[in-house]
C-alpha cells in the first residue's frame, strides 16, 4: 500500500480513528534494532554524512519511536542535521494555514462559506453569480490562475522581494490577461494561489502580519518554540541554543556538485517571500508538538477536524482526495488509511503523514532537493516501522 495512492474517499474511518484519547509523547523509546535498520535505509539512499541529508521522526500516541538527523544542514558551515535543525516546510505549511482559517471559522469570526472578495475586494469578480468561497480555495477547486504566472509577467516588486500584498495586487492588475483557469467548483487542481491569498485574507482579517498571527494562533498554543514564518528579512528570529538552519540544495549533474538553492538570513536573502502556501520554518522537535496538537484537538475541535478531513466534490463528478489543507489517502475500496501533506521548495522536500490504520505519524524533512524520493523512502521506512514496533 503506497502513501500517495488517492482514489475516492470514505470519511467514516477518519472519524473513528479520531475518537481515541491520545497520550502526550514524552520520551524517545526506540525499539531494539529500529535505529540500525533506519541507519541502513539512509545509507541505501546514498545519503552521505558530508552531504545534505534528512531528518526523520516517527511518533506513536504515548511514546516517541524515533527522532534523528542525517547529513549536513549547511555544507559551508559543515553543521550537522539534528532534531533541532530548522527546515523550510514548503507546502506542509498549508496544513497550518488551513488550521488557522478553521480556528476563525470555529470562533465565528468568519465563515469558510464567505466570498474571498469580502476580505480581498480588489480580487476580480471572475463570475459574480458564483463567488469564490474560502472553502473553494482550501479545497483547491477555485480555478484561480497561478500567482507564479502573474509574477513572471509583472515588473519588479515595490521592495526587494515579493510579499503577499504585492503578489495579491497582481491579480487585480492582470485580471484581463489571467482569467480563471476553469469555472469555480468544476474540478480539482492544486494551486498555490489559493493558500497565498488565504494568507493575505488572514492577515487583513486579524490586522496582523501573517508571521505574528501564526505565532499567536498556531505555534504558541502548540508549544512550537522554534517555528516561525519567513515573510520579511526581519521576521527571521535568532535561533535558540542548539538549533541551526538548514540550507536547501539541488544536485548539479553537470558540475557533479551540490548547489545552494534556498535559505534565510543571515545565510541568504530570498526574493519570493509570499506565505500561506509555504514560508513556515520548523524542526522535528516542533513537528512532534504539532502532531500532538493535531491528535489532541488542541487547536480546533473534533467536529471541525472532521470537516477538514472531508473530500471535495466537483462539477466533473469526481470526489477529490483533498480536504481543507490535508491530502487524504484511501485504498481501492475508498477506505481511509491516512492523511497528511507533502512539500517541495528550493531544495527542501518535506512530508507529514498520519497513518491512521497503523497508528503512527512520520515526518521527513530533507534539504537534498529532488535528489531524494521521499515517497520511496517512506515506503521502505514503513516496512521497518511495522517490523520493529511490533516487537
In angstroms, the CA 324 to CA 345 distance is 21
Q: Which three cell numbers stand for residue 49?
A: 554524512
According to the model, what pLDDT value does residue 29 have? 79
Least confident of 86-90, 275-279, 355-359: 355-359
Q: Which three cell numbers stand for residue 369?
A: 532537493
In angstroms, the CA 142 to CA 136 distance is 5
Give the confidence band of 389 by pLDDT, cuts at 50, 70, 90: confident
Strand ranges (E), 201-243: 228-229
Provide φ and ψ at 186, rounded to 5°.
-70, -35
- Domain layout of the chain by residue ranges: 12-389
Give the confidence band of 27 by pLDDT, cuts at 50, 70, 90: low
According to the model, what pLDDT value does residue 62 have? 78
According to the model, what pLDDT value does residue 391 have? 57
| 86-138 pLDDT, tens digit each | 999 999 999 999 999 999 999 999 999 999 999 999 999 999 999 999 999 99
Look-up: residue for cell 490562475?
A: 145
| 319-355 pLDDT, tens digit each | 999 999 999 998 877 778 899 999 999 999 999 999 9
Mean pLDDT, all residues of the chain: 92
In angstroms, the CA 27 to CA 215 distance is 26
According to the model, what pLDDT value does residue 24 have? 38
7 has pLDDT over 80? no
According to the model, what pLDDT value does residue 309 have? 94
Q: In this structure, is the dihedral angle defined by the CA atoms of residues 365, 52, 1 and 23, taken in order, positive or negative?
A: negative
* Mean pLDDT calculated for residue range 300-320: 95
Percent of the chain with pLDDT over 90: 86
* Mean pLDDT calculated for residue range 1-22: 43
Give the confidence band of 20 by pLDDT, cuts at 50, 70, 90: very low
* Mean pLDDT calculated for residue range 26-51: 91
Q: Which three cell numbers stand for residue 228?
A: 516561525
Give the confidence band of 71 by pLDDT, cuts at 50, 70, 90: very high
According to the model, what pLDDT value does residue 334 have? 72
3 has pLDDT over 90? no
According to the model, what pLDDT value does residue 333 have? 77
Domain 12-389 has CATH 3.40.710.10: yes
3-state secondary structure 151-176: HHCCCCCCCCCECHHHHHHHHHHCCC
According to the model, what pLDDT value does residue 238 have? 94
Kindly state the helix (H) or strand (E) to which residue 355 belongs, with its residue range: strand 348-355
Pick the closest to residue 100 from 240, 235, 233, 208 (CA basis).
208
Provide φ and ψ at 388, rounded to 5°.
-90, -25
9 has pLDDT over 50? no
According to the model, what pLDDT value does residue 25 have? 38
* Mean pLDDT calculated for residue range 11-36: 58
Chain centre distance of CA 6: 18
Give the confidence band of 242 by pLDDT, cuts at 50, 70, 90: very high
| 147-194 pLDDT, tens digit each | 999 999 999 888 899 999 999 999 999 999 999 999 999 999 999 999
206 has pLDDT over 80? yes
Pick the closest to residue 374 from 55, 50, 86 (CA basis).
55
* Mean pLDDT calculated for residue range 261-288: 97
Cis peptide preceding 266, ω within 30 of 0: yes
Amino acid at each position: 500500500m503506497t502513501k500517495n495512492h488517492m482514489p475516492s474517499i470514505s470519511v467514516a474511518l477518519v472519524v473513528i480513528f479520531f475518537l481515541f484519547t491520545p497520550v502526550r509523547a514524552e520520551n524517545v523509546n526506540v525499539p531494539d534494532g529500529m535505529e540500525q535498520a533506519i541507519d541502513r535505509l539512509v545509507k541505501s539512499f546514498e545519503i552521505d554524512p558530508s552531504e545534505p541529508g534528512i531528518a526523520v521522526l516517527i511518533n506513536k500516541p504515548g511514546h516517541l519511536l524515533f527522532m534523528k538527523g542525517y547529513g549536513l544542514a549547511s555544507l559551508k558551515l559543515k553543521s550537522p542535521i539534528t532534531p533541532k535543525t530548522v527546515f523550510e516546510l514548503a507546502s506542509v505549511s498549508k496544513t497550518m494555514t488551513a488550521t488557522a482559517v478553521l480556528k476563525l471559522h470555529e470562533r465565528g469570526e468568519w465563515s469558510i462559506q464567505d466570498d474571498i472578495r469580502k476580505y480581498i475586494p480588489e480580487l476580480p469578480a471572475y463570475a459574480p453569480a458564483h463567488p469564490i468561497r474560502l472553502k473553494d480555495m482550501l479545497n483547491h477547486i477555485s480555478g484561480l490562475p497561478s500567482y507564479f504566472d502573474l509574477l513572471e509577467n509583472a515588473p519588479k516588486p515595490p521592495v526587494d522581494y515579493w510579499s503577499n500584498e504585492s503578489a495579491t495586487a497582481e491579480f487585480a492588475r492582470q485580471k484581463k490577461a489571467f482569467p480563471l483557469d476553469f469555472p469555480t467548483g468544476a474540478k480539482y487542481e492544486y494551486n498555490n494561489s489559493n493558500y497565498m491569498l488565504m494568507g493575505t485574507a488572514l492577515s487583513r482579517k486579524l490586522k496582523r502580519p501573517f508571521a505574528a498571527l501564526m505565532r499567536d494562533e498556531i505555534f504558541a498554543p502548540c508549544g512550537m518554540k522554534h517555528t516561525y514564518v519567513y515573510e520579511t528579512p526581519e521576521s527571521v528570529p535568532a535561533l535558540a541554543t542548539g538549533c541551526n538552519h538548514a540550507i536547501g540544495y539541488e544536485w548539479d549533474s553537470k558540475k557533479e556538485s551540490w548547489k545552494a538553492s534556498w535559505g534565510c538570513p543571515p545565510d541568504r536573502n530570498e526574493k519570493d517571500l509570499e506565505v500561506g502556501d509555504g514560508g513556515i520554518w520548523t524542526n522535528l522537535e516542533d513537528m512532534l508538538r504539532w502532531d500532538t496538537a493535531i491528535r489532541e484537538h488542541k487547536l480546533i475541535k473534533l467536529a471541525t477536524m472532521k470537516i477538514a478531513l472531508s473530500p471535495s466534490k466537483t462539477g466533473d463528478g469526481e470526489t477529490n482526495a483533498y480536504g481543507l489543507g490535508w491530502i487524504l489517502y484511501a485504498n481501492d475500496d475508498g477506505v481511509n488509511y491516512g492523511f497528511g501533506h507533502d512539500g517541495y521548495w528550493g531544495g527542501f522536500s518535506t512530508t507529514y503523514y498520519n497513518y491512521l490504520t497503523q497508528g503512527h505519524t512520520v515526518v521527513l524533512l530533507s534539504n537534498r532537493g529532488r535528489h531524494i524520493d521521499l515517497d520511496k523512502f517512506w515506503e521502505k521506512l514503513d516496512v521497518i516501522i511495522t517490523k520493529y514496533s511490533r516487537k
